[in-house]
């Protein structure tokens, strides 16, 4: 049961839905009654990609699920930046794509991964397989900037080796149904993972950030921080699961998810889970869903800041914590600018 099997077979019965625990809050079956036809081949969009201002050494463009390469191997040594542009240039059709990225021992890569749709009403599935050699470093910045009526599922399988450093920030603006999954296999051995998320949702958009981190060996670190703002009738889903397997002693795992609902009618479904089968571990999770602090708002207004500006400042400060954790400076600046633009639409 998955979107990709449904797309390939054209059989909507293959879609997962609310009866499947992992898809409880993202009911693909409910939004997609029948499978649409296959997307045609298309040229890359003529417009600039999201976050285009970030310079990249390599670029892979995936249009309607198709790309020239199926595998990218990072060059060892120098820090490199790869732009991975995933675009849907079609209307009312479905497609799927996949790509493998390998980071040999000691390599250092930043991926600027963006999702966009030129036309509307498409169904997209994209799978990424990432494997990291010993001591490799990867920072992955994923921006899901899709049309409101898109149905889009993207998933990454990430295999770390000892001493690897994995950094990820997923920024989502939602769609009709938009889900990003990260499945991280953590061998421990000093490997270190950061999985952050940020969602800014308005209208009737939905966004689902799902992650499963499995600590299979001792002495691994995971830090996760997801934050979001939800307005209108939008709905956010956060499912974060950290599994510490037997023997994975010395694991240090922290998960935080914090959301602000900007009005009645907005919704957040959060499911943080820690499953711990080892003894000597340090794990914690925190989850809060609240609204903008009215007292803080009045305080700011009493100093002369108009309400809309005060709200925007508070919202920017709230989500800024996630943006600040992006290590790649040009990417951090570009994401900050994108977020500021999006916030103007929310306040």
Partner 1 sequence: MLSIKDLHVSIGEKEIIKGLSLDVPAGEVHAIMGPNGAGKSTLSYTLAGRSGYAVTEGSATLNGEDLLGLDPSERAAKGVFLSFQYPLEIPGVPTLTFIRAALNAQRKTRGEPECTAPQFLKLAREAAAKLKMDFDMLKRPLNVGFSGGEKKRMEILQMAILQPSFLILDETDSGLDIDALKIVSEGVNAMRAPDRAMLVITHYQRLLDYIKPDRVHVLAGGRIVASGGPELALELEAKGYDQYAKAAA
Residues that bind partner 1 (CB under 8 A): 293, 295-296, 298-307, 309-310, 313-314, 316-318, 320-321
Shortest Å, Cβ 308 to partner 1: 10
Beta bridge partners of 272: 240
Contacts for 336 with CB less than 8 Å, ≥ 6 apart: 320, 323
Helix (H, G, I), strand (E, B) or coil at 38: strand
Q: How far is the CB of 300 from partner 1 (least distance, A)?
A: 7
Nearest to 232 by CA among 258, 208, 207: 207
* Between 284 and 308, CB nearer to partner 1: 308
Phi, psi (deg, nearest 5) at residue 60: -125, 125
State the minimum distance, in angstroms, from the CB of residue 67 to partner 1. 39
Residue closer to partner 1 by CB (options 32, 322) is: 322
Give least dist CB 270 to partner 1, A: 20
Question: In this complex, which beta carbon is closest to partner 1, that of residue 180 or of residue 257?
Answer: 257
Q: Where are the beta strands (DSSP E) in the chain?
A: 58-63, 71-73, 79-88, 94-103, 108-117, 123-132, 137-144, 151-159, 165-172, 177-186, 192-201, 206-215, 221-230, 235-244, 252-261, 267-276, 282-290
In the complex, the smallest distance separating the C-beta of residue 304 from partner 1, rounded to whole angstroms, is 4
264 or 280: whose CB is closer to partner 1?
264
Nearer to partner 1, 238 or 318 (CB): 318
Which CB atom, from 86 or from 171, has the smaller least distance to partner 1?
Answer: 171
What token pair was written down for 129? 């397989």
Structure tokens at 84: 């991975």
Burial class for 209, CB neighbours closer than 10 Å (0-12, 13-18, 19+)? buried
Q: In what order do the strands lie in the sheet with 252-261?
A: 58-63, 79-88, 108-117, 137-144, 165-172, 192-201, 221-230, 252-261, 282-290
- The smaller minimum CB distance to partner 1, of residues 233 and 287, is found at 287
**Any alpha helices (H) in the chain, and if so which ranges?**
3-9, 28-31, 294-302, 307-324, 329-346
User: Closest separation between CB of residue 223 and partner 1, Å?
Assistant: 18
Spatial contact of 318 and 310, defined as CB atoms under 8 Å apart: no
The CB-of-237 to partner 1 minimum distance in angstroms stands at: 24
Between 271 and 332, name the residue whose CB sits nearer to partner 1. 332
Q: In terms of CB distance, is 84 or 260 closer to partner 1?
A: 260
Alpha helices (runs of H) in 21-146, residue ranges in sequence order: 28-31
């Amino acid at each position: 049961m998955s979107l990709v099997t449904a797309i390939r077979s054209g059989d909507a019965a293959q879609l997962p839905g609310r009866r499947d625990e992992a898809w409880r809050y993202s009911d693909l079956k409910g939004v997609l009654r029948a499978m649409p036809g296959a997307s045609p081949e298309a040229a890359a969009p003529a417009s600039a990609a999201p976050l285009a201002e970030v310079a990249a050494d390599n670029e892979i463009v995936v249009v309607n699920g198709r790309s020239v390469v199926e595998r990218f191997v990072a060059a060892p040594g120098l820090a490199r930046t790869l732009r991975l542009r995933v675009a849907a240039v079609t209307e009312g059709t479905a497609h799927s794509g996949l790509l493998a990225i390998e980071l040999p021992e000691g390599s250092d890569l930043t991926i600027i991964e963006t999702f966009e749709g030129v036309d509307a009403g498409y169904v997209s599935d994209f799978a990424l397989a990432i494997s990291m050699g010993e001591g490799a470093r990867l920072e992955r910045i994923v921006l899901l900037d899709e049309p409101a009526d898109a149905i889009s599922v993207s998933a990454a399988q990430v295999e770390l080796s000892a001493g690897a450093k994995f950094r990820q920030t997923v920024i989502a603006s939602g769609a009709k149904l938009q889900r990003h999954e990260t499945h991280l296999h953590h061998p421990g051995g000093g490997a270190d993972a950061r999985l952050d998320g940020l969602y800014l949702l308005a209208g009737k958009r939905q966004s689902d950030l799902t992650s499963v981190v499995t600590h299979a060996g001792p002495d691994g670190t995971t830090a996760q921080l997801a934050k979001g703002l939800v307005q209108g009738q939008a709905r956010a889903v956060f499912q974060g699961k950290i599994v510490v397997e037997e023997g994975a002693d010395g694991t240090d795992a922290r998960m935080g998810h914090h959301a602000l609902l900007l009005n009645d009618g907005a919704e957040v479904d959060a499911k943080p889970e820690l499953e711990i089968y080892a003894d000597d571990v340090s794990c914690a999770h925190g989850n809060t869903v609240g609204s903008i602090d009215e007292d803080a708002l009045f305080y700011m207004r009493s100093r002369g800041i108009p309400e809309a500006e005060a709200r925007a400042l508070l919202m920017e400060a709230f989500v800024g914590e996630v943006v600040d954790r992006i290590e790649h400076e040009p990417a951090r600046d570009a994401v900050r600018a994108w977020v500021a633009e999006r916030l103007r639409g929310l306040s």
